[in-house]
Amino acid sequence: MSEDKKVNPLINLAAGGISGALSKTLTAPLEKVKLAIQNQDSDPRVISGEMKRYTGMGDAFKRHISELGPSSLWRGNFANCIRYVPTAAFNLAFKDNIKKMFPKYDKNKDFGKFAGTQIASGALAGGATNTLVYPLIYVRTVLGADLGKEKKFNGMADCIKKTVKANGFMSLYNGIGPSSIGIVVYRGAQFGIQDILKSFNPYQKDFTAVALASKFAVAQVAVS
């Protein structure tokens, strides 16, 4: 492959960030309603009877729009979008550098060890990335679960400021344990399977229609 056909990784990262932010924005209402229903039983206003429980997704959508306005369905989406690019960047950077720390194994002669290093590097990269971006995940969850007409937080910056002031910086990492376990398992499987399949793809370094189709297929298998 000639040098002029190589794609700048920054372009790939930017394209991935834009597409990721777009998809997050389109699905934000569903995520907002899901968080509202999941967290309502721990909300003091629901417990005290001040606010009625949501009876389902339809009721949650209807009440968000009528009581809080349509824009409330995208509350917390900004934090969700801006974490996407650093998440993708850190995952790639960590994975490639962590992989260099492992011995290199021939996929044909030592497939088990080869596969293990791919899965381990993906899992460690996912855990490291989750640790760095978790405050954004926490803020997105808190804003998404901030129910009622009177909001506790006026946006992402206000949420971070008030949370740190009240409970200290480490409070932004509440719940990171279960989150990290899930991410380590998920990223280990995703990146591991993807890198294993890529190593056997004869079209991996090509940019033909067949090559692009094969890369797309590999990506879909890895995330499914």
Give the CATH number for residue 129.
1.50.40.10
Q: What is the pLDDT of residue 204?
A: 79
**Which residue did the predictor score with more confidence, 157 or 43?**
157
Q: What is the CA 134 to chain-centroid distance, rounded?
A: 10
pLDDT at 4: 43
Distance in angstroms (rounded) separating the CA atoms of residues 138 and 144:
10
Domain that holds residue 14: 3-223
Q: At what angle do helices 176-200 and 84-101 cross, to 10 degrees?
A: 60
For the segment 143-190, what is each residue's pLDDT rounded down to a tens digit? 877 766 677 888 889 999 999 999 999 999 999 999 999 999 999 999
- The pLDDT assigned to 140 comes to 83
- Closest CA relative to residue 143, chosen from 131, 160, 166, 126: 160
Contacts of 39 (CB under 8 A, 6+ apart): 145, 147
Q: For residues 12 and 167, which has the higher predicted lDDT (pLDDT)? A: 167
Q: Which range among 72-76, 126-130, 151-155 has the greatest average pLDDT?
A: 126-130
Dump pLDDT digits (tens) for 93-109: 888 889 999 999 999 89
The amino acid at residue 115 is A
Long-range Cβ pairs for the range 59-65 (8 Å, 24+): 60/33, 60/36, 61/29, 61/33, 64/32, 64/33, 64/36
Place of tokens 């992402």: 156
Domain count across the chain? 1
Cβ-based neighbour number of residue 33 at 10 Å:
21
Q: How many CB atoms are located within 10 Å of the residue 135 CB?
A: 21
Asked if 21 contacts 81 with a C-beta cutoff of 8 angstroms, the reply is yes
Is residue 169 classed as helix, strand or coil in its secondary structure? Answer: helix
pLDDT class of 9 with cuts at 50, 70, 90:
low
In the numeric block, the tokens 């790639």 are attached to 92
Question: Cα-atom radius of gyration of the chain, to the nearest Å?
Answer: 21
Cα separation values, 59 from 37, 39, 90, Å = 10, 15, 39
Average pLDDT of the chain is 84
